[in-house]
Every structure is written in structure tokens, then in C-alpha cells.
């Protein structure tokens, strides 16, 4: 049930601060016995002001103009009050004043929501996600400066054309140090981040409508690479002459047999190893990216790598389960490792996670629901990005089907049913 508000407007001249018998006129707004004053930037001669009528008196041109202006102000203030009231929103004298002076949410800007969003996520999201939002913000600012020739826009100016033009800008933008423009999927990611920021403004009621309501992201399907069983075996057995390459290989192989990402591996300590209900050792951890708890039973090859570094000077000092290296160094050394082993693929540490999902688990009959749990995914659809049904698995499954569909034959090749 809507609450009934009391509302009134009156005008008064500030006689106490009058100069040369001229005083500023104010509008006093009262809502539910709470009042505020608005300076109308208009002066009146006190000899021509009727305190009781709250209007100028006389038939002079100045008096007529003053009264006409006060009537316009009164109409505008009443409209502001009506707009708030009809929306069922909280109505106060201060809100009516803000709306009349255009100091309400209609004048919130894109930079304001960007700053608000940054404060909101600084302690709730992973550092990598925060960094990605920062990159998107940089592209937004470049677009504003280079294409719109401004540093900011009002949120109410955001519409489908703004989104479409920003997308066109990103498609044609060549990031510094890159040989080509950003990919279609990267463009979509930046637009999705802008959408999250604008949606926040919508939920805060800083904008009346969502400009992204008709926008739909489109992603190109990418074939994510992984190591085959043969490539993984060659990598495991290769004898590296350099200790740093041997160490990086071990970290990569450990991820291949656990599915744990780089960001989570470097934070593992002996405390993350627990005895499971089956009597074997498990890793209990939490994904840095999503804060999702993950429980992974240790396979023999992962166990042996852990044992290898139990008394290693690096792990003893760092008190970590495995030796720690920076992500940049690891991916750099993986290029050397790929060349040495003869792997023609673009070997990155994240490929180990794909390899775990595909070569180690799914191709060996582990259900995708189990793999999803091991990877720490909250949605099965996310796991399907990693999943690969290998040709060998397809062949095996079809052979099983073929045996079920074809009648059994005796030793002479005759059908057992004939």
C-alpha cells in the first residue's frame, strides 16, 4: 500500500540578507513536515513583495516576470514530486530538490560507476580478475577519448549504439606489442565486463533501463590444445640436462595428473595433504579464482613428484609442497621443453589442466561429472570446454555398439541366429 505524502511549496524573500532593499527569493519545499530551501537566483524589491501572498505585487514588467517565473518553478517542482511519487519511490524534500536541480541519479556518469565497481571488487575478486577489469576500463577510456573526444559520459547516454560503436572500436584496435588486433572472443570478454559494470549501475538505480538488454555475446568455438598420451609419456621420461627445466617439467606433469592450476599449485603446502576416507592421500585446497573447495585424490605419478621435493632446499625455505616459480618464467621454460621433447604444440602451463581433463581422465572413462568436481567447476558446461572425446574413445565406443547390434557368429562365420 502506497504511503500518502504531504507536500507543499511556498516562496519567500530573504529580508535579513537584503541589500539596497533587494532580496533573493527562495522556494521552500515541505514533504511530510521536512523542508528544504532552494535559491531561485532571482531578486525582488521588497517594496514590491507581498509576504502574505508570497508573490510580487503591482503591474510593472518586473513584477509580472517575477510571478511568471515563480509559476514555472512551482509547476516544475510539483512535476518532480509527482514523478517520484508515481514510481512508488521514497519521496523526501531533499529528493525533490535534487531532481529539480538535476543532482539526482540521472546525472551519474560512467566514470562514477567505474570507480564504484573498482571499490566493490578490490577485496572480493581474484587479482587476475581485477586486472582484467582494469584492462577493460583502459579500453573504455581510450574509446571515450579517441572516438567521442571526451573523458566521461552520463550513464543515461549509454544505449545500444554506444555498445555497438565500442565493439567496432575494439575490433579495429591494435594493442601495443601485439602483431594483430584482438580476437573476436577477446572483444566479447571486454563487452561482457562492461555489461557487468553497467548492470551494477542498473541495480543501483543509477540508470532507468539496461542498455545491454538487446545485446547478445557471440563466441567462436576454439579447439583448446592438450597433450596426447604419447606426448605426455615422452615429456615424463625425457632426461633434461638443466635442473630448471626438470623442475618446470615436474610442475607441469603434476598439474597433468591433478588438474590444479598454476595459481593454486604454487600455494600448496604440506598441510593441503590429508588422508582420505579410502585410506589414500588427497589434496584439499580451494581455487583462488572462484574460492570453490577442491578435493583431489593423488595419483601415483603426482605422489612421486611430491616425494621428490620433500627435502628440496627450495621447498624447505618456501614451506611449499613444490618449488615455486613465476608464471612468466614457467611458460618461457615450457617453450624450451617443447623444443627439446619435440612437442609441436604451443606448450603453456594451462595446457596441463586441459590434458588432465581430456587425456588423463575423460579418455580413461572417468565420468564428466566427476571431472567437473575434480576441476572445481561450479557448472558442467564449463567442464565441457575442456572435455575432448578422442578418436580412440569414439572408436572404442562404436565397437561396443557394433557388437551389440551385430548378431553373434560361430567359428565358421555363420550367424548364431541362422
* CATH label of the domain that carries residue 131: 1.10.150
> b/e map of 246-279 (b: 16 or more CB within 10 Å)?
ebbbbbbbbbbbbbbbbebbbebeeebbeeeeee
- CA dist 366 and 363 (Å) reads 7
* Bridge partner residues of 104 (DSSP): none
Segment 7-34 mean pLDDT: 93
pLDDT at site 132:
94
Low-confidence winner among 17-26, 117-126, 316-325, 409-418 (lowest mean pLDDT): 409-418
Q: Which of 70, 103, 136 is the last residue of a domain?
A: 103
Residue 84 has pLDDT above 90, yes or no: no
Give me the mean pLDDT over the 148-175 stretch: 89
- 327 and 240 fall within a common domain: yes
Most confident residue range from 84-93, 114-123, 285-294: 114-123
Task: Report pLDDT for 406.
Answer: 80
- As a whole number of angstroms, the distance between CA 293 and CA 314 comes to 27
For residue 155, tell me if it sits in a domain: yes
Q: Is residue 213 in a domain?
A: no
- Mean pLDDT of the 394-402 span: 79
Average of per-residue pLDDT across 212-234 = 88
pLDDT in the model for residue 411: 47
Mean pLDDT (the chain, rounded): 88
Model pLDDT, residue 99: 81
- Residues 131, 266 share a domain: no
Q: Minimal CA–CA distance to 302: which of 326, 273, 331, 277?
A: 273
pLDDT at 410: 47
Query: Can you tell me the distance from the alpha carbon of 360 to that of 375, in angstroms, rounded to the nearest whole number?
Result: 13
233 and 380 together in one domain: yes
**What pLDDT, on a 0 to 100 scale, did the predictor assign at position 103?**
65
In a domain, residue 411? The reply is no
Instruction: Judge if 245 and 362 occupy the same domain.
Output: yes
284 and 375 within one domain: yes
Q: What percent of the chain has pLDDT over 70?
A: 91
**Which of these, 247, 287, 282, lies nearest to 264 by C-alpha position?**
287
Same domain, residue pair 358 and 238: yes
Residue with the bigger pLDDT between 158 and 386: it is 158
Kindly state whether residues 252 and 169 are assigned to the same domain. Answer: no
Out of 80, 103, 126, pick the residue that ends a domain.
103
Mean pLDDT of all residues in 382-391: 69
For residue 4, what are the contacts with CB-CB under 8 A and spacing of at least 6?
A: none
On whether the CB atoms of residues 333 and 248 are closer than 8 A, the answer is yes
418 lies in a domain?
no
What local confidence, expressed as pLDDT, does residue 417 receive?
Answer: 42
The pLDDT, as a whole number, for residue 414 is 52
Which domain range does residue 191 map to? Answer: 108-203
Whether pLDDT at 416 is above 50 = no
The answer to whether position 407 is within a domain reads no
The grid coordinates of residue 56 equal 510580487
Residues 197 and 286 in one domain: no
324/316 Cα distance (integer angstroms):
11
Give the 3-state secondary structure of the chain.
CCCCCCEEEEEEECHHHCECCEEEEEEEEEECCEEEEEEEEEEEEHHHEECCCCEECCCCHHHHHHHHHHHHHHHHHHHHHHHHHHCCCCCCHHHHHHHHCCCCHHHCEHHHHHHHHHHHHCCCCCHHHHHHHHHHHHHHHHHHHHCCCCCCCEHHHCCHHHHHHHHHHHHCCCCCCCCCCCCHHHHHHHHHHHHHHHHHHHHCCCCCCCCCCCCCCCCCCCCCCCCCHHHHHHHHHCCCCCHHHHHHHHHHHHHHCCCCCHHHHCCCCHHHEEECCCCCEEEEEECCCCCCEEEEECCHHHHHHHHHCCCCHHHHHHCCCCCCCCHHHHHHHHHHHHHHHCCCCCCCCHHHHHHHHHHHHHHHCCCHHHHHHHHCCCCHHHHHHHCCCCHHHHHHHHHHHHHHHCCCECCCCCECCC
Q: Please tell me the predicted confidence (pLDDT) of residue 279.
A: 87
Does position 289 have pLDDT exceeding 90, yes or no?
no
Which of 58, 82, 103 is the endpoint of a domain?
A: 103
Task: Confirm whether 193 is domain-assigned.
Answer: yes
Strands 34-45 and 22-31: antiparallel
Determine, yes or no, domain membership for 303: yes
Q: Is the dihedral of CA 310, 313, 316, 319 positive or negative?
A: negative
Band (181; pLDDT cuts 50, 70, 90): confident
Give bridge partners of residue 11 from the DSSP assignment. Answer: 27
* Same structural domain, 121 and 92: no
Provide mean pLDDT across the span 208-227: 86
Predicted model pTM: 0.60
pLDDT of residue 104: 58
Asked if the structure places residue 210 within a domain, the reply is no
Question: Would you say residue 415 has pLDDT above 60?
Answer: no
Burial of 124 (0-12, 13-18, 19+ CB in 10 A): exposed
> Can you tell me the distance from the alpha carbon of 172 to that of 373, in angstroms, rounded to the nearest whole number?
39
> Does residue 279 sit in the same domain as residue 389?
yes
Q: Which three cell numbers stand for residue 246?
A: 626438470
Same domain as 270, residue 353: yes
pLDDT value at position 353? 92
pLDDT of residue 399: 83
258 and 391 share a domain? yes
Closest CA to 358 of 333, 330, 384: 384
Domain total in the chain:
3
413: left (phi over 0), alpha (psi -120 to 50) or beta: left
pLDDT for 371 beyond 80: yes
The CATH number assigned to the domain holding 264 equals: 1.10.443.10
CB burial of 91-113 (b: ≥16 within 10 Å; e: otherwise) equals bbbebbbbbbeeebeeebbbbeb
Amino acid at each position: 500500500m502506497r504511503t500518502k505524502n504531504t507536500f507543499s511549496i511556498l516562496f519567500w524573500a530573504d529580508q535579513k540578507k537584503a541589500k539596497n532593499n533587494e532580496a533573493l527569493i527562495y522556494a521552500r519545499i515541505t514533504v511530510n513536515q521536512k523542508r528544504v530551501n532552494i535559491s531561485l537566483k532571482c531578486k525582488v524589491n521588497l517594496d514590491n513583495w507581498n509576504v502574505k501572498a508570497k508573490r510580487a505585487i503591482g503591474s510593472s514588467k518586473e513584477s509580472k516576470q517575477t510571478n511568471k517565473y515563480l509559476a514555472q518553478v512551482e509547476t516544475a517542482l510539483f512535476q518532480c514530486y509527482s514523478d517520484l511519487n508515481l514510481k512508488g519511490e521514497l519521496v523526501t524534500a531533499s529528493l525533490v530538490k535534487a531532481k529539480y536541480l538535476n543532482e539526482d541519479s540521472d546525472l551519474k556518469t560512467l566514470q562514477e560507476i567505474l570507480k564504484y565497481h573498482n571499490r566493490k571488487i578490490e577485496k572480493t575478486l581474484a587479482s587476475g580478475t581485477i586486472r582484467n577489469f582494469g584492462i577493460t576500463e583502459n579500453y573504455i577510456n581510450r574509446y571515450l577519448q579517441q572516438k567521442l573526444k571526451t573523458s566521461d559520459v552520463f550513464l543515461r547516454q549509454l544505449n545500444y549504439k554506444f555498445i555497438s560503436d565500442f565493439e567496432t572500436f575494439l575490433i579495429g584496435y591494435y594493442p601495443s606489442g601485439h602483431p594483430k588486433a584482438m580476437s573476436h572472443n577477446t572483444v566479447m570478454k571486454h563487452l561482457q565486463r562492461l555489461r557487468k559494470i553497467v548492470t551494477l549501475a542498473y541495480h543501483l538505480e543509477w540508470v532507468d533501463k539496461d542498455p545491454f538488454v538487446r545485446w547478445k555475446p557471440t563466441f567462436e568455438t576454439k579447439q583448446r590444445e592438450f597433450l596426447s598420451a604419447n606426448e605426455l609419456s615422452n615429456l615424463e621420461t625425457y632426461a633434461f640436462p638443466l635442473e630448471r627445466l626438470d623442475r618446470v617439467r615436474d610442475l607441469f606433469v603434476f598439474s597433468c595428473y591433478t588438474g590444479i592450476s598454476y595459481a593454486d599449485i604454487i600455494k600448496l603446502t604440506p598441510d593441503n595433504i590429508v588422508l582420505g576416507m579410502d585410506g589414500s592421500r588427497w589434496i584439499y585446497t580451494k581455487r583462488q579464482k572462484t574460492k570453490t573447495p577442491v578435493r583431489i585424490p593423488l595419483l601415483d605419478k603426482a605422489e612421486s613428484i611430491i616425494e621428490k621435493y620433500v627435502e628440496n632446499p627450495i621447498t624447505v625455505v618456501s614451506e611449499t609442497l613444490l618449488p615455486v616459480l613465476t608464471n612468466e618464467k614457467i611458460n618461457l621454460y615450457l617453450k624450451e621443453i617443447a623444443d627439446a621433447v619435440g612437442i609441436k604444440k604451443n606448450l603453456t602451463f594451462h595446457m596441463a589442466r586441459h590434458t588432465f581433463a581430456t587425456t588423463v581422465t575423460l579418455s580413461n572413462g572417468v565420468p564428466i561429472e566427476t571431472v567437473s568436481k575434480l576441476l572445481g567447476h561450479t557448472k558442467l558446461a564449463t567442464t565441457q570446454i575442456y572435455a575432448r572425446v578422442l578418436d580412440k574413445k569414439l572408436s572404442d565406443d562404436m565397437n561396443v555398439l557394433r557388437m551389440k547390434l551385430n548378431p553373434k557368429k560361430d567359428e565358421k562365420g555363420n550367424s548364431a541366429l541362422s
